[in-house]
Structure 1
Amino acid sequence: MDGETQTPPPPSSQPPPPPPPPTRTPLPIREDCWSEEQSATLIEAWGERHLELNRGNLRQKHWQEVADAVNDRHGSSIKKARRTDVQCKNRIDTLKKKYKVEKAKILASSGTFISKWPFYSRLDMLIGPNGSNKKQQQHLALPAPPLPPPPPQLMSPSSNSPPLALPLPYHRRTTPSSSLPHATVVPVAPRSKRPAPNPIPIGIDDSCFRRNYSAVAAAAAASSDSESSRSSEEESRRKDEEVDGVKELAQAITKFGEIYEKVEQVKQRQMVELEKQRMEFMKNLEFQRMQLFMDWQVQLEKIKRSKRSTASDVYG
């Protein structure tokens, strides 16, 4: 039995199990990823402040308000999920760039291309040319206020329009019973917008109007003469004032020249006196120097004589 070779077991009909699939590490989620709901909330919050500032740029406090609005609606307890003002500003810049790309596509297609981007219509109202001119179009589209109804045309004594005609009595001679007059109303044309000039009554002489016209002309001429005389008097008075001013200026200049001349004379006299004092001082100084020199010579001569006398006594 020991010498017999062992036969290997028959191969199994089942295939070997496949190797386990490699484990994939989950991709990191960016902290600045924006969902569609968050982007819509951001656009609404930013758009309100953009319109409040008359389509101007937002400051840091406004961006902080926008971030607070987004966090209040979509915030969570995780600190990393809360949006900051810088993230909101960067997201708005990204949305603006996307809007410009969509707008360029529409302009290039001459209006045939319709953007399917969900935020295009809202951003077009906020930063598009139609949205910026909407306010001006509203002002232009407002109808003008209706004019107030004209006041009823009342006949006043001071109006220039002719008054309504009064009923004229009509006398009948046939029967005495018809003593009461029958009135006939004369139709009057409606008053035009411009008042008609007062007609000159017939039967009045033109001399009164000529006299009035001559009186008015005389009064106008007198007033013009008085105005011209008044203006000439004012002009002459102005010229006299100018002449007086020039005279006063000339007198002031003359006085200033006299004072300046006196000051210069005093300065010259002082300079002469100072020069005399300086010359006198130099003269006295030179005299003292000569005096000292002569005294020194005399003393030196005396010393020489005394030395000679002592030497002669020693050798004598």
Structure 2
Amino acid sequence: MADLTDSFSPPTTHSRTLPVREDCWSEEATSTLVDAWGRRYLDLNRGNLRQKDWQDVADTVNALHGHTKKTHRTDVQCKNRIDTIKKKYKIEKARVSSSNGMLTSSWPFFERLDALIGSNFSAKKSTQPPPVALPLPYCKNLTPTAAVSATAVALPQKRSAAATMDDGYFRRNYSAVAAAAAAAEGEGEGEEDEEVEERVSEVEEGERGREGMMKLAKVIERFGDVYQRVEAEKLRQMVDLEKQRMQFAKDLEVQRMQMFMDTQVQMERIKRGKRSASNGTYS
């Protein structure tokens, strides 16, 4: 079988040739792609590759075969190529399986794809439904009476189980029902006891909850008293500091005025001394 490639040869019926697709794959590039994808596929436990994985596969292919612009592959091109190879493998697998071992595939990538994804494309099982029932043997020489008797013997085979049920079956069922009813009554009493115990426990929990709330309220009240005392002490200290500041400012102002008055008295004395000295000179 010819190798599967995406390239095609130009038709010979026209003198004008068609352009070759830029995404054509050679057998060597396809082999490298299958190897790179297969390693990633097995590393992911046969799971789907992510975009980063496809980019790594494309980088591996381009490292060996992407030396030109036409042979450079993207991650999308690699994914599309793998999808095409999977479709080709599915066709080859179906052809080989339908031949019952008489045919083998000459496709060079069949063995590698079969080792990677062969379990996903197993041979289809037979869809022929099983027979519903076996036909009754036909006896040509049976008289109508014998045929009726034979039918009467053959048909009630499935009804024999219901026909042979005795009163013991119903007695056992009645005993089971009675036992179940007694157990239900016992369970009902047990459930009532459990409900009473639950209610008692709820009451006790409620009382404990109220006690806890009262204790919490007392703690909060004590905390409020302490906070109030602390704030009152802070306010008293602020008032004392303000009084001290005002007294200090008052004392400073008195001292300043005293110094000013002393300075004025001394200056006045100096002036008087100068005037008396000048008057003595003139006299």
Larger radius of gyration: 1
Q: Scaled by the length of structure 1, what TM-score is found?
A: 0.45
Q: Scaled by the length of structure 2, what TM-score is found?
A: 0.49
Q: Which structure is richer in relative contact order (CA contacts within 8 A, separation 6 or more)?
A: 2
